[in-house]
Chain A
């Protein structure tokens, strides 16, 4: 017996699928399933996070609705996946944030932006907010660099801690049958599989949508978004290194590494989320977990806002709009950081952990 109704249903489906196995060539979920004859809560959460929601197994299934066996793996695993985020959230008290995630994220984002604007005005003379600041250290006239670095460093460290605790619980829960140890080979394989979104392609023909024509382009937009995010994060890191190691202060010239990478990343973070939201609206309702729409949208919008406000700041950094734009950008990024462990961001972490486990299982099977 399982802890929740959705895990009960996932167990029923995996029992059906394990006696069929026609889908084993489509992705990682079914080969992982075949390594088991019975499914614990942890096993099902592992399979749920291994699923990339491409939809192929639904379109290919002879037992999907209206068949009486009522097999809908993508939707069932999507619901189980969302519930697993709450189940592994740390600290436990914040697990509720996943229930009305859209609302929670919006409120935190609004609050965060407001605090930055208010802070800039309260600490500085109001005229500084609308003043024109250029040259090295221009941003820090609104907020001292050390304060900025400390605040964001602390937020990031907290996010990392909370995420690590969540993954730890997940990793323990999915321990069987190969145990919790892993190795560099499995990690590398998982990096490759995650980096190219290997399993978001319907077994090679593309992702499925409203009918059996693979027209879905989420993979492309996800690449824009993920690599956009990575470039932006890299820009921030390089900037921090410049500041402390080379004593070079932002803003940097347009050709400098943090700006180039931040700009490219920002473009990715604008195009990617727009594409993802568009594709999301077009997806066949039968395949998706309607309950998680708020969470998904909130995260995508946060990434979009991060990209847009960053690019706006770059464009108008030499004007009087710089102060408000900086407050807006920092507010959005701060909210993004502190909500990372309590929103859709965690999907990447858990899915990566599941891919590591899967790579390890494959190795052990072949040995």
Chain B
């Protein structure tokens, strides 16, 4: 049993990568640490459950990384994906620190492996967790427990007592025992974003948000973020934005994870409810533009779309969780998708007629393109003509949100007046917006979590001692 009457040096709210890195690093610095994870034990770790790799800078190839990835190159990639919406000083600092994380995380029991099948493009830049994100979490929890960190599950925090930027206590609601006041010298908020909070999403997306699928657990409700912002912490990141990809419409509402994704867009066309194309499917290749399709589908009627392709390309992409819906003719396929058969036939006929001759190569921006239709398909355009015709229905799958708390290099929260908080720190998705104003590159969320988690824990422990 955890003694909740005592005063802890460091209270960590959250249970993912950032939270555990903070807890471990604070404990290693000599602090007493309590971790409050709002989810039940099985669902512990929030989005970390579904991750699989981390992007860290390194100057030379390693056993699991195929080549160097310098700080400068990392910075350029970050600049590219965020379109400059980043805090350069903080971002460069994080990139520099990420180098050491490669080893530090191994010291906490996490194991690496070379990049997974189907992710060769990440073999140089990203280090993969052996067994995936949950294996990584298991290792971190094991280490934290061995070090003597106290951990509570199903531990929902319903209120924070904060005065003039100083954390005093947290009100904990437990399944049994009711409300308990937990006191600590410092707070590390690592409780993620609000992607599972449909009501909150509706503020920006309207009723469309009802048709969103959430890729992570239902526990990422942003309650801690909301409390902090309401109590004077400075916000950062566009509150209206979230990272969304197109995922299978048959996926569960929550926690379908990575396996519901589709990377087949480039091999066919995408049509909406009216069987019409609405965006250039050949603009750019996965993984760089993989993320645009969530928002594109979100803007279509009923937030649904259909990737249409034929049986000649069926082995060109990874096998999918849900099988494609098949029809011997376009009309039959349209019937199964409840689309207007005539409209779908018209769209495909026009598309086929517009395809120009070229040499197909899905690994480069090839010269297979359309001419004379709007929108065009600028690469990888090939006629859809080999029955059976196939389709995947897709909906927006929300991965994470960008709104967060402003922090400095110590991972210390900044208050609305710009002053650093006396004893509050943040790490992970809850402060990702500081470096990742928009966009995403694979593995970056975990880098932010581990780097700032480690720093937050260390600084919180130091703060608690003084």
Name which of A58-66, A131-139, A182-190, A221-229 contacts chain B: A58-66
Are A60 and B132 within 8 A (Cβ)?
yes
Are B319 and A203 within 8 A (Cβ)?
no
Bitwise, A41-69 to B at CB < 8 A (1) or not (0) is 00000000000000011011111001110
Are A62 and B130 within 8 A (Cβ)?
no
Name which of A14-22, A94-102, A310-318, A334-342 contacts chain B: A14-22
Are A59 and B135 within 8 A (Cβ)?
yes
Q: How far is the CA of A204 from the CA of B49 in the complex (A)?
A: 20
Partner of A203, one of B117, B130, B142: B130
Q: How far is the CA of A16 from the CA of B251 in the complex (A)?
A: 12
Which of A18, A22, A66 neighbours the largest number of chain B CB atoms within 10 Å of its CB? A22
Are A19 and B131 within 8 A (Cβ)?
no
Say yes or no for B369: interface residue by CB 8 A criterion.
no
Name which of A23-31, A192-200, A244-252, A322-330 contacts chain B: A23-31
CB neighbours (8 Å) of B255 from chain A are 62, 67
Interface size on A, residues (CB 8 A): 29
Are A16 and B321 within 8 A (Cβ)?
yes
For the A-B complex, the count of residue pairs with Cβ-Cβ distances under 8 Å equals 78
Are B138 and A23 within 8 A (Cβ)?
no
Please report whether the interface of chain A is mostly helix, strand, loop or mixed according to DSSP: loop
Closest chain A CB from B324 CB (angstroms): 12
Are A203 and B321 within 8 A (Cβ)?
no
Interface size on B, residues (CB 8 A): 31
Are A22 and B118 within 8 A (Cβ)?
no
Within 8 A of A (CB), among B109-143: 111, 113-114, 116-118, 128-135, 138, 141-142
Closest chain A CB from B365 CB (angstroms): 26
Closest chain B CB from A305 CB (angstroms): 39
Q: How far is the CA of A78 from the CA of B435 in the complex (A)?
A: 47
Say yes or no for B386: interface residue by CB 8 A criterion.
no
Are B130 and A20 within 8 A (Cβ)?
no
Q: How far is the CA of A53 from the CA of B288 in the complex (A)?
A: 38
Which of B50, B117, B133, B315 neighbours the largest number of chain A CB atoms within 10 Å of its CB? B117
Q: How far is the CA of A282 from the CA of B4 in the complex (A)?
A: 33
Are A62 and B131 within 8 A (Cβ)?
no
CB neighbours (8 Å) of B50 from chain A are 62
CB neighbours (8 Å) of B319 from chain A are 15, 18-19, 37
Within 8 A of B (CB), among A56-95: 56-57, 59-63, 66-68
Are A60 and B321 within 8 A (Cβ)?
no
Say yes or no for B320: interface residue by CB 8 A criterion.
yes
CB neighbours (8 Å) of A66 from chain B are 42
Say yes or no for B252: interface residue by CB 8 A criterion.
yes
Are A19 and B318 within 8 A (Cβ)?
yes
CB neighbours (8 Å) of B128 from chain A are 25
Q: How far is the CA of A59 from the CA of B132 in the complex (A)?
A: 11
Tell me whether A205 and B259 are in contact in the complex, defined as CB-CB below 8 angstroms, given that A15-B319, A22-B133, A62-B49 are known contacts: no
Smallest CB-CB A-B distances: 6 pairs = A22-B132, A60-B131, A25-B113, A60-B135, A212-B138, A19-B259
Q: Which residues of A pack against B, CB within 8 Å?
A: 15-16, 18-26, 31, 34, 37, 56-57, 59-63, 66-68, 203-205, 212-213
A selection of 11 A-B contacts at a CB cut-off of 8 Å is A22-B131, A24-B116, A25-B130, A31-B117, A61-B134, A62-B133, A62-B134, A66-B42, A68-B252, A205-B111, A212-B141
